[in-house]
């Protein structure tokens, strides 16, 4: 397989192991039926990125792959299913910075477990072409999840700081239904915490700043008031607000 040129974005930045992760990026339906029902021959060839645009390309051979990816993408993401070097791929555009595209690639890869990478826009005098497909990478045993924190002792008030890391908080305005929205968006348990003597929902606690930024953007896109703060200043009040 040919090497990526310096004008293309190497995909091996997506995971901590230095290898491309797996990406969850698909669309469940197109037109009158599932994309998975369409044959590869019917799909148009993927178009290269425009000037100043970074593309996220996810290999999604099945309808199940597509559904997992679509579920975690922002609703405003411009997506197209296309044929890329003989593979069914979901093309996600609209990224203006490599950091944002890489963060989404890493996040989606770890959650949906499909191969994915970022295509870099053409430089001056360089033809606008897509890079070759990267080699298959070893999937992580489990998706990146918030660093676990100890639960308070039952029937006893036992607040404790989260510790060093990035806490993604959501202001729920004393509305318990927001906790359900956050849980549905993250697929994780939502905790109750205190920050600045105010109660918040803890959507995620992680040492990965990129993952925290991606989740922040996803929650904001859903109309939730979210922020990232220093975990050392956050006190855990209840590990599961649903219990």
Residue 35: per-residue pLDDT: 43
For 67, left (φ over 0), alpha (ψ -120 to 50), or beta?
A: alpha
For residues 208 and 4, which has the higher predicted lDDT (pLDDT)?
208
pLDDT above 70: residue 6: no
Regarding predicted confidence, which is higher, 36 or 117?
Answer: 117
Do residues 60 and 69 touch, judged by C-beta distance below 8 A?
Answer: yes
* Full-model pTM: 0.40
Q: Which residue has the tokens 């995971």?
A: 15
Helix runs in 73-223, H state only:
98-112, 177-186, 209-221
- Give the mean model confidence (pLDDT) for residues 170-189: 84
Alpha helices in the chain (DSSP H): 63-72, 98-112, 177-186, 209-221
* Torsion sign (Cα): 15, 91, 217, 240: negative
Structure confidence by residue, pLDDT tens digits, 58-84:
888 898 998 888 888 877 788 989 887
pLDDT band at residue 197 under the 50/70/90 scheme: low
Chain mean pLDDT for the chain: 70
pLDDT of residue 202: 93
**95: exposed, middle or buried (C-beta count within 10 Å: 0-12, 13-18, 19+)?**
buried
Cβ atoms of 65 and 102 within 8 Å: the answer is: no
DSSP single-letter state for residue 27? -
b/e map 138-158, b = 16+ CB within 10 Å: eeeeebbbbbebeebeeeeee
Domains in the chain, CATH or no CATH each: 11-119 (no CATH), 160-238 (3.30.70)
Which segment, 84-93, 156-165, 178-187, is predicted with the most confidence on average? 178-187
């Amino acid at each position: 397989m040919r090497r990526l040129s310096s004008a293309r974005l190497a995909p091996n930045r997506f995971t901590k192991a230095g290898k491309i992760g797996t990406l969850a990026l698909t669309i469940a339906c197109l037109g009158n039926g599932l994309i998975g029902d369409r044959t590869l021959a019917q799909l148009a060839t993927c178009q290269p990125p425009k000037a100043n645009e970074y593309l996220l390309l996810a290999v999604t051979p099945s309808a199940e792959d597509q559904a997992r990816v679509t579920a975690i993408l922002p609703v405003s993401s411009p997506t197209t299913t296309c044929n890329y070097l003989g593979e069914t791929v979901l093309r996600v555009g609209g990224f203006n910075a490599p950091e944002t595209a890489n963060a989404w690639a890493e996040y989606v890869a770890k959650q949906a477990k499909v191969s994915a990478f970022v295509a870099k826009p053409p430089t001056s005098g360089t033809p606008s072409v897509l890079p070759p497909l990267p080699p298959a990478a070893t999937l992580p045993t489990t998706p990146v999840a918030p660093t676990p924190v100890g639960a308070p002792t039952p029937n006893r008030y036992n607040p404790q700081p989260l510790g060093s890391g990035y806490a993604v908080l959501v202001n729920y305005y004393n509305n318990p239904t927001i906790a359900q929205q956050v849980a549905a968006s993250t697929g994780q348990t939502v905790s109750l915490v205190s920050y600045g003597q105010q109660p918040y929902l803890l959507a995620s606690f992680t040492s990965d700043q990129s993952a925290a930024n991606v989740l922040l953007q996803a929650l904001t896109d859903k109309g939730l008031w979210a922020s990232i703060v220093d975990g050392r200043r956050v006190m855990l009040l209840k590990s599961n607000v649903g219990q």
